[in-house]
């Protein structure tokens, strides 16, 4: 750590020395910028989806996970949520996991290996430190809406992230009525 601090101090003095010499030669003030990156500086307007984790969660090239806002797909792995959903819906866990696999495959075909842009709502992170986002493909496809429209997700609305809740409700009702995706 001392070596790093010493190196930074030397760099700063060197920049100051160069700046003063330039000032004397040209009689103009020179601004020296030293940029040391700290924290996350990702371009969420153009970022690669490296992996789809499940039907409503993905991983970015930055290593961050993204939870798609406003939607919920069935679980495909053993979890407390799987059993809660089973009790709530009256469906057995095996059926829910099969539906979760279908939702995962749909989302994976839509996103994995593709560049996307993220739109955030009021809250940027959930309690699991995943990014909360609306995701768009480069062709303009609104991914969250497309998953609902094609019948692979239910709605999950958590205020204050409700920007597209009305749109999702409309698409969900249409998918159910028309028997698309999981609603066949």
CA nearest 46: which of 101, 116, 119?
A: 116
The list of the chain residues with pLDDT below 70 reads: 1-40
Residue 41 has a pLDDT of 74
Residue 40 has a pLDDT of 59
pTM for this model (two decimals): 0.77
Residue 36 has a pLDDT of 41
**Rounded to 5 degrees, what are φ and ψ at 168?**
-60, -40
CA nearest 71: which of 43, 45, 106?
A: 106
CATH architecture, domain defined by 47-183: Beta Barrel (2.40)
Residues 6+ away with beta carbon under 8 Å from 104 = 52, 54, 55, 73, 76
Residue 39 has a pLDDT of 44
CB 148 within 8 A of CB 167: no
Alpha-carbon dihedral sign for residues 41, 165, 110, 63: positive
Residues 6+ away with beta carbon under 8 Å from 22 = 28, 30
Domain residue ranges in the chain: 1-36, 47-183
Catalytic residues: 67, 75, 130
Q: Please report where in the chains the tokens 């909360």 appear, as a residue.
A: 132
């Amino acid at each position: 750590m001392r070596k790093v601090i010493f190196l930074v101090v030397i760099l700063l003095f060197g920049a100051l020395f160069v700046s003063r010499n330039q000032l004397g030669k040209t009689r103009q003030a020179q601004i020296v910028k030293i940029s040391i990156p700290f924290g996350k500086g990702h371009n969420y307007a153009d970022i690669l989806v490296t992996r789809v984790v499940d039907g409503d969660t993905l991983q970015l090239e930055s290593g961050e996970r993204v939870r798609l806002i406003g939607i919920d797909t069935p679980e495909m792995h053993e979890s407390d949520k799987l059993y809660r959903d089973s009790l709530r819906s009256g469906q057995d866990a095996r059926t829910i996991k099969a539906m979760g696999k279908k939702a995962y495959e749909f989302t994976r075909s839509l996103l994995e290996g593709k560049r996307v842009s993220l739109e955030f709502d009021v809250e940027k992170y959930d309690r699991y430190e995943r990014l909360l986002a609306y995701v768009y493909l480069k062709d303009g496809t609104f991914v969250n809406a497309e998953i609902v429209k094609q019948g692979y997700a239910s709605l999950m609305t958590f205020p204050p992230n409700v920007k597209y809740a009305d749109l999702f409700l409309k698409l969900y009702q249409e998918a159910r009525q028309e028997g698309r995706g999981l609603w066949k």
